Amino acid sequence: MSSVYALLFIVATIVLVIGLTRKIVQYAKTPAPLKIPTTPAPVTQTGVVFRLFREVVLFESLFKSTKWTWIFSWLFHMGLFLVLLRHVRYFIDPVWLPIQLIQPFGKYAAFAMVAGLAGLLVRRIFVDRVRYISAPSDYLWLLILLTIGMSGAMMTFVIHTDVVAVKQFFTGFWTLSGGELPMDPILLIHLTLVAVLMILLPFSKLLHIPGVFFSPTRNQVDNPRERRHLVEWARKFEES
Protein backbone atom coordinates (compact mmCIF):
# COMPACT_ATOMS: atom_id res chain seq x y z
CA MET A 1 0.00 0.00 0.00
CA SER A 2 2.91 2.36 0.69
CA SER A 3 4.16 1.75 -2.85
CA VAL A 4 0.69 2.49 -4.24
CA TYR A 5 0.54 5.82 -2.42
CA ALA A 6 4.10 6.65 -3.44
CA LEU A 7 3.15 6.06 -7.08
CA LEU A 8 -0.07 8.05 -6.61
CA PHE A 9 1.81 11.07 -5.29
CA ILE A 10 4.46 10.82 -8.00
CA VAL A 11 1.71 10.96 -10.63
CA ALA A 12 -0.13 13.74 -8.75
CA THR A 13 3.04 15.84 -8.45
CA ILE A 14 3.91 15.43 -12.14
CA VAL A 15 0.37 16.34 -13.22
CA LEU A 16 0.29 19.34 -10.86
CA VAL A 17 3.66 20.74 -11.93
CA ILE A 18 3.19 20.19 -15.68
CA GLY A 19 -0.45 21.32 -15.59
CA LEU A 20 0.25 24.52 -13.66
CA THR A 21 3.32 25.32 -15.77
CA ARG A 22 1.31 24.86 -18.96
CA LYS A 23 -1.50 27.13 -17.75
CA ILE A 24 0.90 29.81 -16.49
CA VAL A 25 2.68 29.86 -19.87
CA GLN A 26 -0.72 30.08 -21.58
CA TYR A 27 -1.76 32.97 -19.33
CA ALA A 28 1.54 34.77 -19.95
CA LYS A 29 1.20 34.43 -23.74
CA THR A 30 -2.46 35.48 -23.92
CA PRO A 31 -2.52 39.00 -25.42
CA ALA A 32 -4.32 41.86 -23.71
CA PRO A 33 -5.16 44.13 -26.64
CA LEU A 34 -6.94 46.75 -24.52
CA LYS A 35 -6.10 48.77 -21.44
CA ILE A 36 -8.78 47.54 -19.03
CA PRO A 37 -7.56 48.06 -15.45
CA THR A 38 -10.44 48.36 -13.01
CA THR A 39 -10.46 51.95 -11.81
CA PRO A 40 -9.39 53.58 -9.62
CA ALA A 41 -6.16 51.95 -10.75
CA PRO A 42 -2.48 52.72 -10.04
CA VAL A 43 -0.61 54.80 -12.59
CA THR A 44 2.83 53.29 -11.86
CA GLN A 45 4.26 49.77 -11.91
CA THR A 46 5.02 50.03 -8.20
CA GLY A 47 1.38 50.83 -7.59
CA VAL A 48 0.40 47.73 -9.55
CA VAL A 49 2.64 45.58 -7.32
CA PHE A 50 1.00 46.99 -4.19
CA ARG A 51 -2.44 46.50 -5.72
CA LEU A 52 -1.73 42.83 -6.45
CA PHE A 53 -0.34 42.42 -2.94
CA ARG A 54 -3.56 43.81 -1.43
CA GLU A 55 -5.62 41.60 -3.76
CA VAL A 56 -3.70 38.40 -2.95
CA VAL A 57 -3.23 38.94 0.79
CA LEU A 58 -6.24 41.05 1.80
CA PHE A 59 -8.76 40.21 -0.98
CA GLU A 60 -9.41 43.92 -1.42
CA SER A 61 -11.96 43.73 -4.25
CA LEU A 62 -13.93 40.99 -2.49
CA PHE A 63 -13.99 43.08 0.69
CA LYS A 64 -15.51 45.97 -1.26
CA SER A 65 -18.04 43.63 -2.86
CA THR A 66 -19.49 41.53 -0.03
CA LYS A 67 -18.27 41.41 3.56
CA TRP A 68 -19.68 37.98 4.50
CA THR A 69 -18.07 36.25 1.52
CA TRP A 70 -14.84 38.10 2.26
CA ILE A 71 -14.80 36.87 5.89
CA PHE A 72 -15.31 33.22 4.97
CA SER A 73 -12.96 33.33 1.97
CA TRP A 74 -10.19 35.10 3.88
CA LEU A 75 -10.51 32.69 6.81
CA PHE A 76 -10.22 29.71 4.49
CA HIS A 77 -7.29 31.00 2.44
CA MET A 78 -5.23 32.27 5.36
CA GLY A 79 -5.96 29.11 7.33
CA LEU A 80 -4.91 27.01 4.34
CA PHE A 81 -1.74 29.07 3.94
CA LEU A 82 -0.67 28.43 7.54
CA VAL A 83 -1.61 24.75 7.31
CA LEU A 84 0.50 24.34 4.17
CA LEU A 85 3.45 26.06 5.85
CA ARG A 86 3.07 23.71 8.80
CA HIS A 87 3.11 20.70 6.47
CA VAL A 88 6.52 21.70 5.08
CA ARG A 89 8.04 19.91 8.09
CA TYR A 90 7.09 16.57 6.53
CA PHE A 91 9.32 17.16 3.51
CA ILE A 92 12.54 18.59 4.97
CA ASP A 93 15.06 17.47 7.55
CA PRO A 94 16.21 19.36 9.54
CA VAL A 95 13.13 21.57 9.81
CA TRP A 96 13.85 25.26 9.18
CA LEU A 97 13.42 27.60 12.13
CA PRO A 98 10.55 29.65 10.55
CA ILE A 99 8.64 26.40 9.96
CA GLN A 100 9.23 25.39 13.58
CA LEU A 101 7.89 28.72 14.79
CA ILE A 102 4.75 28.45 12.64
CA GLN A 103 3.74 25.03 14.04
CA PRO A 104 1.41 26.21 16.88
CA PHE A 105 -0.36 28.66 14.56
CA GLY A 106 -0.67 26.15 11.72
CA LYS A 107 -2.09 23.59 14.14
CA TYR A 108 -5.11 25.72 14.99
CA ALA A 109 -5.37 27.33 11.56
CA ALA A 110 -7.17 24.14 10.49
CA PHE A 111 -10.22 25.38 12.42
CA ALA A 112 -10.18 28.69 10.52
CA MET A 113 -9.86 26.78 7.25
CA VAL A 114 -12.81 24.50 8.03
CA ALA A 115 -14.94 27.40 9.33
CA GLY A 116 -14.30 29.40 6.16
CA LEU A 117 -15.16 26.45 3.93
CA ALA A 118 -18.33 25.72 5.89
CA GLY A 119 -19.39 29.35 5.49
CA LEU A 120 -18.74 29.27 1.74
CA LEU A 121 -20.72 26.02 1.42
CA VAL A 122 -23.67 27.45 3.36
CA ARG A 123 -23.53 30.53 1.13
CA ARG A 124 -23.77 28.41 -2.02
CA ILE A 125 -26.74 26.47 -0.62
CA PHE A 126 -28.83 29.28 0.89
CA VAL A 127 -28.04 32.42 -1.13
CA ASP A 128 -30.34 32.30 -4.16
CA ARG A 129 -28.19 34.22 -6.64
CA VAL A 130 -25.11 32.14 -5.74
CA ARG A 131 -26.99 28.83 -5.83
CA TYR A 132 -28.35 29.73 -9.29
CA ILE A 133 -24.86 30.03 -10.83
CA SER A 134 -23.30 27.12 -8.88
CA ALA A 135 -22.33 23.98 -10.78
CA PRO A 136 -22.04 20.54 -9.13
CA SER A 137 -18.25 20.87 -9.30
CA ASP A 138 -18.44 23.97 -7.06
CA TYR A 139 -20.04 21.90 -4.29
CA LEU A 140 -17.66 19.01 -4.94
CA TRP A 141 -14.56 21.17 -4.47
CA LEU A 142 -15.89 22.60 -1.23
CA LEU A 143 -16.71 19.11 0.08
CA ILE A 144 -13.27 17.77 -0.90
CA LEU A 145 -11.51 20.67 0.81
CA LEU A 146 -13.76 20.35 3.86
CA THR A 147 -13.00 16.65 4.16
CA ILE A 148 -9.27 17.29 3.81
CA GLY A 149 -9.39 19.97 6.52
CA MET A 150 -11.56 17.96 8.89
CA SER A 151 -9.57 14.75 8.49
CA GLY A 152 -6.34 16.66 9.09
CA ALA A 153 -7.77 18.26 12.24
CA MET A 154 -8.97 14.86 13.45
CA MET A 155 -5.47 13.42 13.16
CA THR A 156 -4.13 16.35 15.18
CA PHE A 157 -6.73 16.57 17.94
CA VAL A 158 -8.75 13.31 18.01
CA ILE A 159 -7.20 10.24 16.39
CA HIS A 160 -3.44 10.71 16.37
CA THR A 161 -1.41 9.14 13.62
CA ASP A 162 2.30 8.32 13.59
CA VAL A 163 3.65 11.60 12.22
CA VAL A 164 7.24 10.34 12.45
CA ALA A 165 6.40 7.50 10.06
CA VAL A 166 4.51 9.92 7.79
CA LYS A 167 7.58 12.17 7.65
CA GLN A 168 9.84 9.21 6.92
CA PHE A 169 7.53 8.21 4.07
CA PHE A 170 7.50 11.65 2.44
CA THR A 171 11.18 12.42 2.95
CA GLY A 172 11.86 8.98 1.51
CA PHE A 173 9.45 9.81 -1.31
CA TRP A 174 11.45 12.90 -2.29
CA THR A 175 14.86 11.26 -1.81
CA LEU A 176 13.75 7.97 -3.45
CA SER A 177 14.85 6.06 -0.35
CA GLY A 178 11.44 4.60 0.46
CA GLY A 179 9.44 4.47 3.70
CA GLU A 180 6.39 2.80 5.21
CA LEU A 181 3.15 4.77 5.39
CA PRO A 182 0.90 4.17 8.43
CA MET A 183 -2.32 2.42 7.42
CA ASP A 184 -4.62 4.68 9.47
CA PRO A 185 -8.01 5.05 7.66
CA ILE A 186 -8.28 8.80 8.36
CA LEU A 187 -4.74 9.36 7.08
CA LEU A 188 -5.45 7.36 3.91
CA ILE A 189 -8.64 9.33 3.24
CA HIS A 190 -6.74 12.58 3.85
CA LEU A 191 -3.88 11.66 1.50
CA THR A 192 -6.17 10.26 -1.20
CA LEU A 193 -8.18 13.48 -1.37
CA VAL A 194 -5.00 15.59 -1.36
CA ALA A 195 -3.73 13.58 -4.35
CA VAL A 196 -7.08 14.00 -6.13
CA LEU A 197 -6.89 17.74 -5.46
CA MET A 198 -3.37 17.92 -6.90
CA ILE A 199 -4.36 16.01 -10.04
CA LEU A 200 -7.54 17.98 -10.77
CA LEU A 201 -6.35 21.46 -9.74
CA PRO A 202 -4.74 22.38 -13.12
CA PHE A 203 -8.09 21.70 -14.84
CA SER A 204 -10.43 23.41 -12.39
CA LYS A 205 -11.68 26.80 -11.22
CA LEU A 206 -8.95 26.68 -8.58
CA LEU A 207 -6.61 28.04 -11.26
CA HIS A 208 -7.45 31.49 -9.91
CA ILE A 209 -4.40 30.82 -7.69
CA PRO A 210 -1.92 31.79 -10.44
CA GLY A 211 -4.55 33.44 -12.62
CA VAL A 212 -4.98 36.50 -10.41
CA PHE A 213 -1.45 37.62 -11.30
CA PHE A 214 -2.31 37.61 -15.01
CA SER A 215 -5.65 39.41 -14.79
CA PRO A 216 -5.40 42.56 -16.99
CA THR A 217 -7.94 44.32 -14.77
CA ARG A 218 -5.44 44.02 -11.91
CA ASN A 219 -1.94 43.92 -13.42
CA GLN A 220 -2.16 46.85 -15.87
CA VAL A 221 -0.95 50.37 -15.24
CA ASP A 222 -3.64 52.99 -15.83
CA ASN A 223 -1.69 55.16 -18.29
CA PRO A 224 -3.53 54.98 -21.65
CA ARG A 225 -3.06 58.71 -22.27
CA GLU A 226 0.63 58.76 -21.42
CA ARG A 227 1.60 55.61 -23.34
CA ARG A 228 0.00 53.80 -26.25
CA HIS A 229 -0.80 50.18 -25.41
CA LEU A 230 0.07 47.65 -28.12
CA VAL A 231 0.41 43.89 -27.76
CA GLU A 232 3.29 42.22 -29.58
CA TRP A 233 1.25 40.84 -32.47
CA ALA A 234 -0.40 44.23 -33.07
CA ARG A 235 2.99 45.96 -32.99
CA LYS A 236 4.33 43.61 -35.69
CA PHE A 237 1.22 44.17 -37.80
CA GLU A 238 1.56 47.95 -37.49
CA GLU A 239 5.23 47.90 -38.42
CA SER A 240 4.56 45.83 -41.52
Q: Residue 187 burial by CB count (10 A; 0-12/13-18/19+): exposed, middle or buried? A: buried
d(CA 32, CA 9): 36
Cα 35 to Cα 47, 51, 61, 68: the distances in Å are 16, 16, 19, 31
For residue 164, the SS3 value is helix
Tell me, what's the pLDDT at 175?
A: 66
Could you give all domains of the chain from N- to C-terminal order, each with its CATH number?
2-228 (1.20.950.20)
Helix orientation angle between 185-200 and 136-157, rounded to the nearest 10 degrees: 140
- What predicted TM-score, i.e. pTM, was given to this entire model? 0.87
d(CA 124, CA 133): 9
Which of 167, 112, 173 minimizes the C-alpha distance to 145? 112
Q: Where are the alpha helices (DSSP H) in 88-184?
A: 97-126, 128-132, 136-157, 163-175
Amino acid, res. 132: Y
- pLDDT per residue of the chain (240 residues) written in tens, 0 to 9: 888 888 899 899 999 999 999 999 999 988 888 888 888 899 999 999 999 999 999 999 999 988 999 999 999 999 999 999 999 998 888 889 999 999 989 989 999 999 999 999 999 999 999 999 999 999 999 999 999 999 999 999 998 888 888 888 888 776 666 678 888 999 999 999 999 999 999 998 888 889 899 998 999 999 888 888 777 776 666 655
Are 228 and 48 a contacting pair, CB within 8 Å? no
Q: Residue 152 burial by CB count (10 A; 0-12/13-18/19+): exposed, middle or buried? A: buried
Q: Residue 109 burial by CB count (10 A; 0-12/13-18/19+): exposed, middle or buried? A: buried
* Main-chain phi, psi angles of 203, to 5 degrees: -120, 15
